Chain A
Amino acid sequence: MILAQKYFIALKEALSEAAERLIFRELEKVDLVSGKDHLHPGYYRVHVDVIYPLGGRLSLFFDQDAGKQMVTEMVGEWIDDKEKIKDGLSEFANAACGRFLARYVEPHHHFKMGLPRCEQMNTAGGKETNGKLWAFKFDDLHIYAAFEEDLSR
Chain B
Amino acid sequence: MYRVLIVDDSSTARALIKKSLDVCGLVAAQYLEARNGKEALDILKKETVDLVLTDVNMPEMDGFNLLRRIKSSPKLFDVPVVVITSLKNRTAEQILKKEQASAVLGKPLSIPEVHRMLKNQLHLI
A residues at B contact (CB < 8 Å): 17-18, 21-22, 71, 74-76, 84, 87-88, 90-91, 94-95, 97-99, 101-102, 105, 107-115
Q: Is the CB of A95 within 8 A of B86?
A: yes
Given A91-B12, A94-B107, verify A101-B90 contact (CB < 8 Å): no
By beta carbon, the residue of chain A nearest B107 is A95
Q: Is the CB of B12 within 8 A of A21?
A: no
Given A87-B10, A113-B57, verify A95-B108 contact (CB < 8 Å): yes
Given A108-B90, A110-B91, verify A21-B108 contact (CB < 8 Å): yes
By beta carbon, the residue of chain B nearest A112 is B87
Q: How many residues of B contact A (CB 8 A)?
A: 25
Q: How far is the CB of A40 from chain B (nearest CB, A)?
A: 24
Name the contact of A91 in the complex, choosing from B16, B85, B87, B95 (C-beta under 8 A): B16
Q: Is the CB of A111 within 8 A of B10?
A: no
Q: List 18 extra interface pairs beyond A102-B87, A111-B87, CB under 8 A.
A: A18-B108, A22-B108, A71-B12, A75-B16, A75-B19, A88-B10, A91-B10, A91-B13, A94-B57, A95-B107, A95-B108, A97-B86, A98-B88, A99-B108, A102-B89, A107-B90, A110-B89, A110-B91
